[in-house]
Amino acid sequence: MRDYQKLVQILVDFLRDYLEKSGTKNLLLGVSGGIDSAVVATLCKLATPQTHALLMPTSTSNPQNLKDGLWLCENLGIEYQVIDIEPIINAYEKSANVSFNNMRKGNLSARVRMSLLYDRSAVLNALVVGTSNKSEIMLGYGTIYGDLACAINPIANLFKTEIYELAKYLKVHQNFITKAPSADLWQGQSDEADLGYSYAKLDEVLSFIDKHGYKALKDKFDDEILNLVISRIEKNRFKTRMPAIAEI
């Protein structure tokens, strides 16, 4: 069991130190209405009052997520802006003469959001703060150059199950803790339905791999979940590495 009081201080100091060393003045993040961005927003606000947020829904976003995100920003005293990105998605679809399925629209939405965050960061002289947790990063459950892109990420070494515990310690509103985890990329989308297992089960395997590697896995877990986790880790490693460069 982690010492969450100590952890919060470590993460807040990390944000403050990086902000000071970078010479920037502000922190900026995308607030989705989910638990990860709620935790990160809370940490950012503890680190500096100069925290800003963008809320960027589409036509298929859950209205409750926007409502919760707005409440969070107002409750924390975070300066925010709401940008409906549906017109941007529609313009891209029309200009490129394509018709999106859910996955393609979800990936583009994530990249549009990150483009807006980085554009806004230049105006504010801000660092873009990431909201992806360790479970998502290890599984590659995110969009490269989309939600995985950031300047700093205070929760990248925390598994999803730890995010829930940290949220409780930070007294994040129950709305964020009890709702089903979702990237909200399309209507009815659910992380755990996409992945096929609960984060609690996935984190058991992921934390074991993180500590012991693959060699000690034999007979520790069911083959089905083990194969899923290992295949996702291997297939998606490229998302967390610098681009391959030819040696000449």
Assigned domain for 246 exists: no
Question: 219: helix, coil or strand?
Answer: coil
CB 71, CB 31: distance < 8 Å: no
- Return d(Cα 55, Cα 80) in angstroms, integer: 7
Task: Report yes or no on 143 lying in a domain.
Answer: yes
Residues 59-71: tens digit of each pLDDT: 989 999 999 999 9
pTM metric for this prediction: 0.95
Q: Is position 34 annotated in a ligand binding site?
A: yes
161 is in an annotated binding site: no
Q: What residue numbers bound the domain in which 173 lies?
A: 4-239
Element (H, E) at 126: strand 126-128
111: annotated binding-site residue? yes
Inside any domain, residue 248: no
In-domain check, residue 245: no
Residue 182 known to bind ligand: yes
Domains of the chain: total? 1
Does residue 244 fall inside a structural domain? no
How do residues 113-158 score in pLDDT, each as one tens digit? 999 999 999 999 999 999 999 999 999 999 999 999 999 999 999 9
CATH of the domain at 145: 3.40.50.620
136 is in an annotated binding site: yes
In this structure, is residue 247 part of a structural domain?
Answer: no
